[in-house]
Structure 1
């Protein structure tokens, strides 16, 4: 996991990370401090009820996301993002001065104006925040960078919320709140000065001042790529789901667990730690590249532990409430509640980090900030809809634990719907599951696979899952040419179909299928795709390489593209190989997590490739380990 933390030592990431951390911290410091202050000193400010003031504050803060996200996306695409970040930090300092004036004047109107402006600050920074990362990080660093940002953001939310509450309880708390916020804003500006330039991808863009037409236009950009749009929908659903749980913590702590403010803090801290752990583990579990196979894994955990939290919650309020935090912890089932809450956070990290990384990597660079702006608008819309739905259900008599259970079931339904529309998520999950349960995969030399453009991958054929192992290791999609019988193998046929594998048959068996396969290979290479071949034409029966067949020669004659030799090591003897009989004749004969390797050699120019030399290269890469 050290590879993601090295980013904190580099100028292209550290100043940005600190700037966004301090921004999230300040947002929550001021927002929570204001809510606490107004809750306990309502009479000196207004005749409105504390509950109404709390909801009004939340609405005022989120309103700018609807009004100005589209404009923020345009600005982030048109201007240098590092410069915009510094301007946003200057705005933050000015907002804190407005807040100080509100406290000194004892004006609720001025304070709510400062809160609205702080929402504008977050709205302007949102598209910059996520569109800047792909400009400063390499593709293999995107997951780690997003993991650090998400973990840092939730930690900042937790600390900001706690500090805001503490400052609000001090004598002259209003001065402490405004002064503390101003200091944080100044430090944030200073850190922003270290962010390297991030040139505008669309400097000639004409700004559309109409937020409504521009919002619709931005959503249209996102909808051009179905996978990107469904990633946005998945991210928005996560924020609805997470915000629904977070919003219930105070009432859940008091009315279900029998605790007080300390219990609310405990629940928030447990969930935040879980999000941080899940986010940071993403880089380790994804092997350093954008692995959307973690998204279904995350959605499964979000459902299971949401249901577990519902069932683990006490059915009856503990006697003696409100209880001190130590007494709450000794209640039966409380550790199960905290474990369920932490695992909700962990699987939430698995769910959200790959989606953000995929959104960044697959969005058109010239429109990336505007697509992220569309994401922010939909996030806000989903959170508001979730709050209204939760309020309606609770008003209809549902208990908070039952609300958690309903949300978990809805999460499962939404996940199934998304994966049905885009099978790529489920496909990558199956592949990811294979190489993280049955095998432990180590790779070497994969940098020889071209970052773009056509190429042919050739590898030895040891088992029925060779294509899946190679696909799991490759950052680029590979279209494999495989025997039509393997293509139709139960369960794996789902993976092969949706990865657009190309079935082939021998000429003596089905000449039409063979010609169709070669034609499809030519079309794929002409389109700049990667083709995967097993030149032996069959799975080995003794662990040794079989003679290479001339299909690769025919392909290169029609499509002179680079050839990348590869070799799989350690798969001979696994349950998917033919050692000691038919495949699966001895399941788990080597247990789970057996070690395998995939090694790639340097790409070969097409004019230098011959069958004997290519077979020799693959044999040398494999070595003695079958």
Structure 2
């Protein structure tokens, strides 16, 4: 993950504002729950179940009521000023909370959970809406990855800090907690004032419509086909995340048979996994949106969740095992690893979806779209609580059964993602396969535009060329291929999913050639990227052959930017005709170095095949030289 962003004034103040806020929220919420559970309930004789459910309800209710209004505020006002005002609201809330702690006003503290939830609900839309204004398009994935990493680490540190402060006991614990809450809020105000201005693109009045506004933004978000699946995917993540996090204390008590420290260790494993997954997402994406990571992440959640559900109990139910003793048990480390894997999959899953939401939502009401997401998230978290009650209490199923159902749900999410749009997932798997087979180096792949039509032309060295280009491209490619290979009974399904366009290279079927060109034109008009090998056949001598006139026909019918590319290092491989016919010789290299170089983009108007051929020849010489280490 690029650490450069954390040094830039347009991102660093926002990152620390968000992290400090998440830390303070979780410090207050977890410390209050510990106080209620171990001190207040015993003093006042309150019912534990009622208090815990009331606390959860008071925190989640503002997300349903005020998220839409928060989205409207973020769309109509300067986002930096709104963040500063919300940090002042946090300071006021925490100041009152500090007084309530010192004077043991427990009912007031419960009410302040509602205020804290309100501040979080109003902050949620502006948190993600401000990033596209301050970050470049190729920085959004990295920015979202940092936000997710910072948020979950802040949750972890806030939870651990709450336990540590409460361990002080008595008046000292309450004074230390009060001072911490106010200090963190003051720091948040100080840092927020350094966020650069983010003026509204559609300023105007902000009507007060809490409930009807929530219904309106939900209808607007789910009614947009480009956004609906991102909204549902993010909410599915929070359903799973809330289900796992809610059951962690029970898992630590009933399955691990550990003391209080066991819950903190399991939570730490989950949070670290989220951070590592966010880091991996940024490294794989390299600044581009990789929606293929979404089903990949869901599959990883399934693997970790399945193993966690099948873990046998540790220790004895008669006595809680201290954390230091648990750390000497391999089974406990396996459980921590499983939660780390679940978190890792979650990081891979959630970062591309938040980026997709930011990229595809209209600029003038992006915050309202994110507000719709927050409302839907809150509904799914409430649903997760109801689902847990149904499974564990009403149906009387074991916690292991409940975790098994969560694993199955994550697998179903992965299947739905793959069936709905298989090409990004397929492209990502090809990318991984190619990197396992070759030491692939890419030069200039950023020249493929993030959106809109483009035509990629490349030299044709081996039967692996299309896979290498498809895996290396930041976007799914459509590509022309020989009709005989396309109609292979074992591989036709794969080529169809990959978006291949069959063409009769022998020219025996002129009507078929016209249909292929029409399909290419249809793909370009739809804003897709199409890749062709203008030579029309594999090279027999390792050099770039003459480009055929079909390239100019395509551009004459459907003008599009043209990106020349060239491969080097594949001549002589098992898949090429170098040193003998392809597939008819023994492989001579394992993980050979392969270079893929992209040149400057040509505008479609007036470009000739000869110009593109010359550009590809120059790139081929460069790629060949680089593949030999020169």
Question: Normalising by structure 1, what TM-score?
Answer: 0.91
Does the 8 A contact of 2:218 with 2:375 survive in 1?
Answer: no
* 2:10 match: secondary structure: coil
* 1:597 match: secondary structure: strand
1:195 aligns with 195
Which range is displaced more, 117-126 or 268-277? 268-277
1:253 aligns with 252
1:28 aligns with 26
Report the CA distance shift for 1:577/1:200 in structure 2 as closer, same or farther (over 3 A). Answer: farther
* 2:130 match: secondary structure: helix
2:337 aligns with 339
| CA displacement at 1:174 relative to structure 2 | 2.8
Equivalences for residues 51-130 of structure 1 within 5 A: 51-130=49-128
Report the CA distance shift for 1:213/1:263 in structure 2 as closer, same or farther (over 3 A). Answer: same
2:307 aligns with 308
1:213 aligns with 212
| CA displacement at 1:29 relative to structure 2 | 0.5
| CA displacement at 1:132 relative to structure 2 | 1.3
Equivalences for residues 454-493 of structure 1 within 5 A: 454-488=453-487, 493=492
Determine if the alignment matches structure 1 residue 273 to structure 2 residue 272: yes
1:540 aligns with 539
Q: Deviations 1:153-199 (Å, cap 9, x if unpaired)?
A: 11100111111222234332333323211111110011111111222
Q: Deviations 1:457-505 (Å, cap 9, x if unpaired)?
A: 2111233443343344334554434433444456765565456544333
1:177 aligns with 177
Report the CA distance shift for 1:347/1:452 in structure 2 as closer, same or farther (over 3 A). Answer: closer
CA distance in 2, matches of 1:292, 1:86: 33
CA distance in 1, matches of 2:587, 2:402: 41
Which range is displaced more, 395-404 or 521-530? 521-530
Does the 8 A contact of 1:223 with 1:229 survive in 2?
Answer: yes
Report the CA distance shift for 1:549/1:394 in structure 2 as closer, same or farther (over 3 A). Answer: same
| CA displacement at 1:590 relative to structure 2 | 4.0
| CA displacement at 1:410 relative to structure 2 | 1.9
Determine if the alignment matches structure 1 residue 554 to structure 2 residue 550: no
Does the 8 A contact of 1:69 with 1:373 survive in 2?
Answer: yes
Q: Deviations 1:125-155 (Å, cap 9, x if unpaired)?
A: 1111111112211222122111111111111
| CA displacement at 1:62 relative to structure 2 | 1.0
| CA displacement at 1:539 relative to structure 2 | 3.1
CA distance in 2, matches of 1:30, 1:529: 49
* 1:567 match: secondary structure: strand
1:136 aligns with 134
* 1:65 match: secondary structure: helix
CA distance in 2, matches of 1:109, 1:251: 26
1:234 aligns with 233
Does the 8 A contact of 1:65 with 1:376 survive in 2?
Answer: yes
Which range is displaced more, 452-461 or 270-279? 452-461
Report the CA distance shift for 1:227/1:430 in structure 2 as closer, same or farther (over 3 A). Answer: farther
Q: Deviations 1:241-294 (Å, cap 9, x if unpaired)?
A: 122122122122122212101111111111111111111121112233111222
Report the CA distance shift for 1:338/1:583 in structure 2 as closer, same or farther (over 3 A). Answer: farther
Which range is displaced more, 230-239 or 432-441? 432-441
| Gap runs ≥5 in structure 1 | none
Equivalences for residues 143-542 of structure 1 within 5 A: 143-170=141-168, 171-172=170-171, 173-204=173-204, 207=206, 209-314=208-313, 317-318=315-316, 321-395=319-393, 396-450=395-449, 454-488=453-487, 493-494=492-493, 496-498=495-497, 500-506=499-505, 508-526=507-525, 529-542=528-541
* 1:603 match: secondary structure: coil
| CA displacement at 1:549 relative to structure 2 | 0.6
Which range is displaced more, 139-148 or 332-341? 332-341
| CA displacement at 1:217 relative to structure 2 | 2.9
Does the 8 A contact of 1:575 with 1:589 survive in 2?
Answer: yes
Which range is displaced more, 498-507 or 422-431? 498-507
CA distance in 2, matches of 1:215, 1:43: 35
Does the 8 A contact of 2:66 with 2:214 survive in 1?
Answer: no
Number of aligned positions between the proteins: 621
| CA displacement at 1:17 relative to structure 2 | 0.3
| CA displacement at 1:89 relative to structure 2 | 0.4
Report the CA distance shift for 1:186/1:378 in structure 2 as closer, same or farther (over 3 A). Answer: same
Does the 8 A contact of 1:221 with 1:367 survive in 2?
Answer: no
Equivalences for residues 550-589 of structure 1 within 5 A: 550-574=549-573, 576-577=575-576
| Gap runs ≥5 in structure 2 | none
Which range is displaced more, 70-79 or 185-194? 70-79
Report the CA distance shift for 1:214/1:320 in structure 2 as closer, same or farther (over 3 A). Answer: closer
Does the 8 A contact of 2:296 with 2:425 survive in 1?
Answer: no
Q: Deviations 1:49-92 (Å, cap 9, x if unpaired)?
A: 23432222122111111111111111112222111111110110
CA distance in 2, matches of 1:620, 1:198: 45
Report the CA distance shift for 1:152/1:450 in structure 2 as closer, same or farther (over 3 A). Answer: closer
Which range is displaced more, 531-540 or 222-231? 222-231
